A = this chain, B = another copy of it.
């Protein structure tokens, strides 16, 4: 998705959202948001904890991510390896997107393309569901891994 690495302006926005919900702006939370703002692809709680080296406990990372997710500041992705990964939902980025993951080296490519939204509403209507969303990820062999 070629994230235009979130800037100060974005983080201000996020802080405002937090304030408006009786939530506190803590050092760990600021650091998580700042780190996520710099990342190009979803990262796990463990990676966040490692990169934040000392300034954010692993448990705090899990708790913060869950909270940020519930506030729609962060999106959770599942690459099928029992490890949740998270991306910042930036105002200037397209929030909804997908990924292409190499089955071998685990390289991640951001995918902006998506199918016609009519398919989703058709499915929702047909089965009487509301608020239907989807999770879509592509898997394959990247060019490096094809040769090896």
- Where the two chains meet, the residues of A that have a C-beta atom closer than 8 Å to any C-beta of B are 76, 78, 80, 82, 100, 102-103, 109, 111, 113, 115-116, 119-120, 122-124, 127-143, 146
A-B contact pairs, 19 of them (CB 8 A): A100-B127, A111-B123, A113-B119, A120-B138, A123-B138, A124-B138, A128-B142, A128-B143, A129-B138, A129-B140, A130-B140, A130-B141, A131-B140, A131-B141, A132-B138, A132-B139, A134-B136, A134-B139, A135-B135
User: B residues within 8 A CB of A120?
Assistant: 138
User: B residues within 8 A CB of A76?
Assistant: 80
Taken together as a complex, chains A and B put the C-alpha atoms of A115 and B138 apart, in Å, by: 13
Max chain B C-beta neighbours (<10 A), residue from A111, A130, A135, A142: A135
